[in-house]
Amino acid sequence: MVERVSQCGAGVGDAGLDDALAVDPLGGEIRLTAVDLVDCPDPVDEAQRLLADARAEWLVDQWWADPVVAQADWDAALASLYAQVAADDRRDAVERRTVLDGAPGLGSFAASLEVLDGAAAWTPEQAAVEGFVDDLADGAISGFAAARRVENHALWLQVAHAAVVVRAFTGRTPSLPRRTRSGRLLTDDQDVLVDGSVALELAVAAGITQGKAAALVDAATTLIIDDRLPLTMQALREGRLDWARLRMVVTRTRDLTLDNARAVEALLYRTRGVLEGGIRRFDTALTAAMLAVDADAEANRRRRNRKGRRVSIQTTDDGAALFTAVGPGEAVTAAYNGLDAAARYLRAHGDP
């Protein structure tokens, strides 16, 4: 048995050894380096390894017992893992976009461009290292999202400036008395030509069609001058509402009362993900909100649309033409089925 002497001792000896050992240079202290600890397993890692081995043996036993059930369980576990990875990716994307919440502007866009310009290039080997952060991709994603928000925010600026012009033209735009379809007489003090005059001015200044300018004036009147849809105005100002959704909610709520219009938009923007994805989701949510608030108004709108039968044809430069028919669904479907049956009959009898 080796006997350890004190730090002041002359050496370390053993009762069964004749030759004395050299003086302990560490003074009786055991000092291990990282190289010495390489072969020493960590208790936590060792426990994890034992659990993994036990789990692997259990999976093999399950496979031999019933391969079909085992395969189904493995597929379910793999699908769950993929779902977790996708959820992590979505969470990371949301975290990258948190800087864009609130009112967007050129500041957020410039910040994302700064990250993008300062991001260093990387190699596949660097990307394979655990904990690697791709600043280049993050900057590009943030820049893309910021540009989209700025694009929608620019739409808000157009609407806001159109409202300023409408207010400036009101009271000094000459107009002629005329009767509306309902028989109501509009006189000079009601400025019946203001919207048209403003739309014409904006169309010439911006190089857009007068119809697009008139739609912007309509949105400006609804959101700003009449303050009819405050939640829609907020979403537009934050850059979260594009032109297609804005036009849809303005036109669809025009015939509703003020209270009903605001109730509809409250239900609309409460719908999860209504401002993301395709326009169909927004349309469906808007229809559901209108049915919940004022089912009669929505029924009247559908009734008017069903009565609006029309047929049009548009020729193209290559000699083809586009035939469009709008009307009740059952009538249009019946007409299509008749044309389809006739075409199939002709093809079956040799018509190319």
- Chain segment 147-200, per-residue pLDDT in tens: 888 888 889 999 999 999 998 888 665 555 666 666 666 555 445 578 888 899
Position 163 scores a pLDDT of 93
Coil, helix or strand at residue 195 = helix
Q: Which residues contact 186 (CB under 8 A, 6 or more apart)?
A: 175, 177, 178, 179, 180, 192
Position 4 scores a pLDDT of 43
**pTM more than 0.75:** no
Average confidence (pLDDT) over 49-62: 81
Report the distance separating Cα 219 and Cα 213, nearest Å.
Answer: 10
Give me the residues paired with residue 314 across strands: 322
Report the distance separating Cα 218 and Cα 223, nearest Å.
Answer: 9
Coil, helix or strand at residue 107 = helix
Residue, of 81 and 225, whose pLDDT is higher = 225
Position 327 scores a pLDDT of 77
The string of pLDDT tens digits covering residues 322-333 is 878 777 777 778
Residue, of 201 and 170, whose pLDDT is higher = 201
If 0-12 CB within 10 Å is exposed, 13-18 middle and 19+ buried, where does residue 11 land? Answer: exposed
Q: Assess contact for 186 and 140: CB atoms under 8 A.
A: no
User: Per-residue confidence at 227, pLDDT binned at 50, 70, 90?
Assistant: very high
Q: Assess contact for 192 and 178: CB atoms under 8 A.
A: yes
Report the distance separating Cα 69 and Cα 75, nearest Å.
Answer: 10
If 0-12 CB within 10 Å is exposed, 13-18 middle and 19+ buried, where does residue 338 land? Answer: exposed
Domain ranges of the chain: 1-38, 41-93, 308-352
Q: Assess contact for 59 and 69: CB atoms under 8 A.
A: no
Q: Which of 171-180, 284-293, 311-320 has the lowest mean pLDDT?
A: 171-180
